[in-house]
Amino acid sequence: MHHALRALFVSGLLAGVVQAQQPVSLFDGKTLQGWKVVTCEAEVVDGAILLKAGNGFLQAEKDYGDFVFECDWKALHTNMWDSGVYFRAGDPEGKFPWPKQHQVNMRRGQEGTIPGADKAKAASLYKPGEWNHFKLTVKGQTAELEFNGEKAWTRDGITPAKGHLCLQAEVPGGGQFLFKNLTLVELDAPAK
């Protein structure tokens, strides 16, 4: 019993440390500082990142392992849209302009989906023509998405342990997208 109480205290203490960490803004609302633009065009418009043209992505300058990432996003095209958020991603291979995995999709009819998770639930949470909110938590080999305030899915088997965080531009086939309020809490960062 003593060990169980101690473990509960330590896990509660660690949870408190995680909760105490403040989100870091990944976008200052004015520039693309902190992002690398790869084979696409992006600019800042009215405090949001506009994925303007091309097939490519914006890649955060730092790689991440365990984290909570949040963003607001909006598709600007009215009859087709396609973008996504890549996490723990590698570099693109061959002719394909995007990383292989892992992508939280923003394609019409597949909003918020990821292979191996409940696609119908996630897509049902999308608000057409409005700002949508993702909260993506990645810890160990598990990822979980909260989409517009509701749990969309949990997926295991997420490897590697660290990789790129990217915003996908797929403008020719899916139209332009806006992103704002991009924040991240590193769960595996050393305590300050």
Backbone angles phi, psi at 124, to 5 degrees: -70, -15
State yes or no: pLDDT of 5 exceeds 70: no
Q: pLDDT-derived band of residue 31, with 50, 70 and 90 as boundaries?
A: very high
Count the neighbouring beta carbons within 10 Å of the beta carbon of residue 30: 8
Domain 25-186 has CATH 3.40.50.300: no
Task: With H, G, I as helix, E, B as strand and everything else as coil, classify residue 14.
Answer: helix
| pTM: predicted TM-score of the whole model, two decimal places | 0.88
Domain residue limits, the chain: 25-186
Cα–Cα dist 11/3, whole Å = 12
State yes or no: pLDDT of 8 exceeds 60: no
Distance between first and last Cα of the chain: 32
The predicted pLDDT at position 189 comes to 73
Average pLDDT, the chain: 90
Backbone angles phi, psi at 63, to 5 degrees: -90, 155
Where is pLDDT greater, at 96 or 67?
67
Specify the amino acid at residue 152. A
